[in-house]
Structure 1
Amino acid sequence: MANILDGKKVAKELREELAEEISAAGDALSLAVLFDPKDDGSRLYVGMKQRAAAKVGIETKDFEVSPGQTTQDAIAMVEKLNADDSVNGILVQAPLPEGIDDAAVFAAVAPEKDVDGLGVTNQGRLFANEKGSYPVAATPKGVMTLLDRYGLDVAGKTAVVVGRSQLFGRPMAALLLNANATVSIAHRYTSKEVLDDMLAKADIIVCGVGKPNFIRGEQIKAGAIVIDVGMNLVDGKACGDVNQEEAMAKASWLTPVPGGVGPMTIATLLESTRQAALEQKALK
């Protein structure tokens, strides 16, 4: 029976620690969020981040990128925020409306305000394993923090990341590699035969493909650590990409859905906003 990696509990601890730091410092912090107001998922996520930010003392400023606007329109919004000293962090909530190049908008965010670590400068730092402090994509960093809080060392372990997106898979693989795991990446073009073979050898599985029951218990190595990054709705209920019931019988540690990676993502984003503000203050 797997032990639970309780992201909800750890995220609450992180937010409480952060709220104390912000209150003690007495600084006014703000996070600007660009999002598509017509996208139900984006509205939901933005609302969750707004509420969490308010609880720790971070003001959020919303900027709607509406259908019909262009990539250049979104970049112009970002450039204005880059120049605004009252804004400490900028979050681009993907996906933006159809026709807008999300990656180009990520790249336009000033590196020092790129709190989700999705711009080319900060991603380059991550893949170069540069030392020092810089933002890293919130979901993968949240996964690493969760593992660390439970004392689970990835060094020397065989890890498989299922997913290769800029938001999750690529930075997740880089973080695990930088922490001395041996890492492989699978994706939609990986054949089932090859994926099965990869998973059967994996000490750590991190999956985020957006497909319910994509990973079944029979594919999991006994004693593996399973991190379920997926968030899907089936018959009105939230579920991940891993069959939780089957995984419980095989894994040594498992993140629940909901209550696993999701809360860690938001807490990590808030931490990155605080860190960005500290570094901006130091430069003044």
Structure 2
Amino acid sequence: MTEILDGKAIAKAINAETKLRVAKQDRPVTLAVLYDPSNDGSQLYVGMKSRQAAKLGIKTLDIPISSDATTATVIKLVEELNDDDSVTGILVQSPLAKGVKERQIFSAVAPHKDADGLGATVQGMLFGDALEDYTVAATPQGVMTLLKHYNIPLKGKNALVIGRSQLFGRPMFALLTNADATVTLAHRYTVETTLKTLLKNADVVVVGVGIPNFIQGQDLKNGATVIDVGMNVVDGKATGDVDFESAQGVASYITPVPGGVGPMTIATLLENTVTLAEQNN
């Protein structure tokens, strides 16, 4: 029997708590979002974040980055936001224009304003399992919250992360490692036969490669926990990187798409934002 992990319900509870925390702040909580307005996906995500933020009492400052922007001009903008006391947190919505080196932009964000935990400083703290407070990228942190809510054990388990992006795969690897799982990081260049072997041995699979139905139920170890971070559109419908139907009955736990990791990402981002407000105040 496969249990479906209800990210929507957990995100609702997180949002309710975030709203209470925002109301206790002495000054407005404001999230600045840099994004590429020509990217339809970014437009969609930024709109969703802004609407949810408004419901929680968080102000958003959506800043479009033009297609002819350079790394230097965006860094200058980020530095201005770093110095602006009215801005609580900063989010760089990937992808930006091709001419912009995103990793430099991520790291230009001051650590005390890094709402999505993508800068080199906070990611270094994550990989070092630092004792100090620091933010973590919203998607992998949301995944960890899901696993914790359902009491899914990680200590000593074989975990497989498929995808090595700075936004998802790398911080996901670090979080699972810090939770005492034995973690393997696979990616687009992992040989198919190797990936199949890894999948058959993985107690926990977290995948985010952007390929519809990339993983089939027959690829999985019986009883595996499957976290689908993928968000694709097939025939007008949202679908993940895992073939949900074939995975049911094989996996012990699985996230649906939509309604799994997606709501957790936004809820975690806004939770991070109010946490920064509390720390900075």
TM range (shorter): over 0.9
SS of aligned partner of 1:257? coil
- Taking structure 2 as the reference length, the TM-score comes to 0.99
Please state how far the C-alpha of 1:26 moved relative to its aligned partner: 4.9
| Residue matched to 1:57 | 57
Name the amino acid aligned to 1:272. Answer: N
| 1:201-243 deviations in Å (ceiling 9; x for gaps) | 0000000000001101111001000000000001111000000
- Letter matched to residue 219 of structure 1: D
Find the aligned partners of 1:84 and 1:209 in 2 and give their Cα distance. Answer: 36
Deviation string 1:44-88 (CA, Å, 9 cap, x unpaired) is: 000000011111110000111011111111111100000000001
Separation in 1 of the partners of 2:277 and 2:265?
A: 19
- Secondary structure of 2:135's counterpart equals coil
Local SS of the residue matching 1:277:
helix
Q: Secondary structure at the match of 2:184?
A: strand
Measured after TM superposition, the shift of residue 27 of structure 1 is 3.6
Q: Which residue of structure 2 lines up, in the alignment, with residue 220 of structure 1?
A: 220
- Aligned partner of 2:84 in structure 1 is 84
Q: Please give the secondary structure, in 1, of the residue aligned with 2:103.
A: helix
> Partner letter of residue 211 of structure 1?
I
The residue aligned with 1:9 is: 9
Distance 1:70 1:4 in 2: 44
CA contact (8 A) 2:141 2:268 kept: yes
Give matches, 1:143-222, under 5 Å: 143-222=143-222
How many Å apart are 1:24 and its aligned residue? Answer: 3.5
Mapping of residues 1-284 of structure 1, within 5 Å: 1-281=1-281
Structure 1 position 25, deviation (Å): 3.8
1:99, distance to aligned residue in structure 2 (A):
1.0
AA aligned opposite 1:79: E
Kept in 1, the 8 Å contact 2:25–2:278? The answer is no
- Identity rate of aligned residues, in percent? 58
Distance (whole Å) between structure 2 residues aligned to residue 25 and residue 47 of structure 1: 24
CA displacement, residues 250-284 of structure 1 (integer Å, 9 cap, x when unaligned):
00000000000000000000011011111111xxx
User: After the TM superposition, which segments of 4 or more aligned residues of structure 1 sit over 4 Å from their partners?
Assistant: none
Looking at structure 2, the residues matched to 99 and 84 of structure 1 have their Cα atoms a distance apart, in angstroms, of: 26
**Structure 2 CA distance, aligned partners of 1:221 and 1:243?**
14
Distance 1:240 1:232 in 2: 6
The amino acid of 2:15's aligned partner reads: R
Q: Which amino acid aligns with 2:247?
A: A
State the distance in 2 between where 1:174 and 1:21 align.
28
Alpha-carbon distance between aligned partners in 1 of 2:162 and 2:235, rounded to the nearest angstrom: 24
Any idea what SS the aligned residue of 1:94 has?
coil
Maintained 8 Å contact 2:139/2:261? yes
Take 1:246 and 1:169, find their aligned partners in 2: how far apart are those partners? Answer: 24
SS at match of 1:60: strand
Find the aligned partners of 1:50 and 1:3 in 2 and give their Cα distance.
Answer: 31
Letter in 1 for 2:93: Q
- Cα distance, 1:132 vs. partner? 2.7
- With the length of structure 1 as denominator, give the TM-score of the two structures: 0.97
Describe the SS at the equivalent of 1:262. Answer: helix
Aligned mates of 1:112, 1:3 — CA distance in 2: 38
